[in-house]
Structure 1
Amino acid sequence: MGGPCLKVGVLANSPAQVGEFVRLIQTAGHRASASLDASQPLPSVLPEADVWLATSNHSERARRLLESLDSTNTPIIYEDEGLVEGDEELASLGPAELRVKRAKRLANKLQLLAHGHVRDSSSQTRARAKHVWVLAASTGGPKAIAEFLDEIPATLSDVAFLYVQHIDSGTMETLKQVVDKHSAFCVRSLDAPCVIREKTVYLIPPNTQIDLLDSGVITPLDQPWLGDYSPSIDQVIAKVARVFAQRGGAIIFTGMGDDGARSSKLLHYRGGKVWVQSANSCAVDSMPVSVQALVDVSVDGAPAQLAQKLVAHFTALQASDSGIPTLFND
């Protein structure tokens, strides 16, 4: 397995489950550096670890401790012991074979983190993003995205943006400078695994694929993009649909071609939002029009209008979560 051996903390609901998780970690080629049994009193401060492996069926004690991890830089991987249910292949395996299968799945997740420890020291004051939206563009994209970001206030919370722009690697630094100039959010180039934080714009690299982990970590991969487009909007939106589902969204801005159309349909099916730039405001309208041919798009508009509608959407969502009545409905 490539990458260093990670120190993995274990948070489980019983001594037996702790032991099982430790064996999984060792089989996956990493080291269990700390173990906590949520059936016993838990410490107020967690031991140091590069990543935590936690039960997905956590107790109230474990839940409180996991919530405290949300303000840290440490990724969490949830081990779902119920994965056998409904899977005939796994259900047919014996205990030893099943452990190997689970360990392999865990090893794949840890390997993504092992290529570079999560670096996030500049993001200590920002919480993990609850919602992730893809900003997708091609021809005319930088101008449209600049107009969009001009209308996004620094106070907008809970959301992070993944900006996917068809571009070559030689102009990425120029793109970052443009986005920095127009964004009240932090702007980050993606050169190492990191926890996805609110109030952040992540620039998706054109030369390497990315992956999203269920723990809320985004990481570059040592693999080129597949297909005709670099970066691939379809691949990024598909990953957001898989991990974030109804907490995901995509706005398809100006561009040539149909990149993003197929995965927008998947995101819509998974409960996420799909918006597009209005055709009459695009430099080239092929991308948003191709999305509208496959998806019942709920919102369209010029870039500034889309930003204003997004702010209204999250204002309403946060008001709803806090019990404040609202009339907004997109």
Structure 2
Amino acid sequence: MMNNGLAIGVIAASIKQVSELGRLVKGAGYNVAASVEIKPGLTTPLPQVDVWVANLDLHDPSVRSVMDYLDLDGPPVIYEDDLQIVPPPTKAVDEKPLLPAEIRQQKERRLALKLRQLVRDSAAETRRRAKKVWVLAASTGGPEAVAEFLAGLPDELEGVALLYVQHIEHQAMSNLQKVVTRHCGWAVETTEEARVIRENTVYLISPQHQVELLEGGVLSPLQEPWGGRYRPSIDQVIAKVARVYRERGGVIVFTGMGDDGANSCTMMHHRGGQVWIQEAASCTIDSMPVSVAKKGCAQFSATPAELARRFVKLHQEGLRPQQS
């Protein structure tokens, strides 16, 4: 029995790929509401759907305008590449490879899971999708500094969402969520399941598992743990936001020990996004913001309360921060 909870469109660069995506959607238990083959010079507006399932070459100039639409103004996008099954690194040498039918079944199950999560998210959310996404990055002393920043935000800031990446143990996440909720008038969500990134929402990045950030603005948990010394990895999250949101992205690095985030702040800067830091004198430990400052990419430095005031002005009035 087909599930009609979402209007799903399939879009690809050839009719063969469109047909394959259609079979994948139907195999996942859903109807296809629209099918689009991208041809050179395509100018016809795309149909209205709730989510696109796409197979597109991101480097093909002929699909650039379509990609820009999907990235900026379209509904969530699930790319066929994101449904690929990645074998674990510990796979036995003599283990038999999956048959084509088994690969398809696994892709259908993964697509069905993503679509069910989007159904739940769409039913629960009335906020619009965020067009601007900023990362709040912190370690030692972070909850207090970030709470002060959040307390300075209005209950509504059009088009903006925040991803809060705090070095923390998983068992402390519930307390962190309470702290954020108490100091902020925005919705507060975790990343235990896939979510469309909505405006006026703070997303707490789990230290237990990695997350992927899809081009359509969807956060989805992965089974893999974070690599490296830090959990969650600030560098990885900033890099994902810089790649997807470019000049519509940003990061504020608060107090913390170590240098997690410094490398990806450089990437955010080169992609056109904003890089701000908490001033050293107001930090519990200033290693993290100082490491960003040494990269030469920080555009503004201030106390958490001053960062909040400048953040609000930037998004309400279009104010560009001065190099500090």
Q: Which residue number in structure 1 is paired with residue 198 of structure 2?
A: 197
- State the alpha-carbon separation in 2 of the partners of residues 163 and 55 from structure 1: 40
Partners of 1:233 and 1:260 within 8 A in 2? yes
- After TM superposition, the structure 1 = structure 2 runs for residues 1-330 of structure 1, keeping only pairs within 5 Å, are 9-11=8-10, 20-26=17-23, 30=28, 33-36=31-34, 59-62=43-46, 65-66=47-48, 69=49, 74-80=50-56, 83=59, 105=81, 107-108=83-84, 114-116=112-114, 117-118=117-118, 119-121=120-122, 123-317=124-318, 328-330=319-321
- State the alpha-carbon separation in 2 of the partners of residues 181 and 56 from structure 1: 52
Letter in 2 for 1:287: M
Letter in 1 for 2:84: N
Q: Report how far residue 130 of structure 1 moved.
A: 0.1
Partners of 1:112 and 1:219 within 8 A in 2? no
- State the alpha-carbon separation in 2 of the partners of residues 196 and 305 from structure 1: 26
Partners of 1:176 and 1:203 within 8 A in 2? yes
What runs of 5+ residues in structure 1 fail to find an aligned partner? Answer: 1-5, 40-53, 87-102, 318-327
- State the alpha-carbon separation in 1 of the partners of residues 53 and 245 from structure 2: 15
Q: Report how far residue 108 of structure 1 moved.
A: 3.1
Partners of 1:25 and 1:31 within 8 A in 2? no
- State the alpha-carbon separation in 2 of the partners of residues 113 and 26 from structure 1: 12
Q: Report how far residue 35 of structure 1 moved.
A: 4.3
Partners of 1:55 and 1:78 within 8 A in 2? no
The verdict on how the C-alpha distance between 1:80 and 1:315 changes in structure 2, with shifts beyond 3 A counting, is same
The verdict on how the C-alpha distance between 1:181 and 1:56 changes in structure 2, with shifts beyond 3 A counting, is farther
TM-score of the two chains, using structure 1 as the length reference: 0.74
Give the secondary structure class of the aligned counterpart of 2:127.
coil
Q: Report how far residue 60 of structure 1 moved.
A: 4.0
The RMSD of aligned alpha carbons is 3.2
- State the alpha-carbon separation in 2 of the partners of residues 204 and 163 from structure 1: 6
Give the secondary structure class of the aligned counterpart of 1:293.
helix
Partners of 1:135 and 1:161 within 8 A in 2? yes
Give aligned-pair identity as a percent. 42
Partners of 1:190 and 1:204 within 8 A in 2? yes
Q: Report how far residue 31 of structure 1 moved.
A: 6.4
Give the secondary structure class of the aligned counterpart of 2:291.
helix
- State the alpha-carbon separation in 1 of the partners of residues 147 and 267 from structure 2: 27
- State the alpha-carbon separation in 2 of the partners of residues 55 and 194 from structure 1: 31
Q: Report how far residue 34 of structure 1 moved.
A: 1.6
Q: Report how far residue 296 of structure 1 moved.
A: 2.5
The verdict on how the C-alpha distance between 1:173 and 1:81 changes in structure 2, with shifts beyond 3 A counting, is closer
Q: Report how far residue 22 of structure 1 moved.
A: 2.0
- State the alpha-carbon separation in 1 of the partners of residues 234 and 11 from structure 2: 37
Letter in 2 for 1:235: Q
TM-score of the two chains, using structure 2 as the length reference: 0.75
The verdict on how the C-alpha distance between 1:84 and 1:312 changes in structure 2, with shifts beyond 3 A counting, is closer
Partners of 1:137 and 1:254 within 8 A in 2? yes
Give the secondary structure class of the aligned counterpart of 1:61.
coil
- State the alpha-carbon separation in 1 of the partners of residues 182 and 41 from structure 2: 44
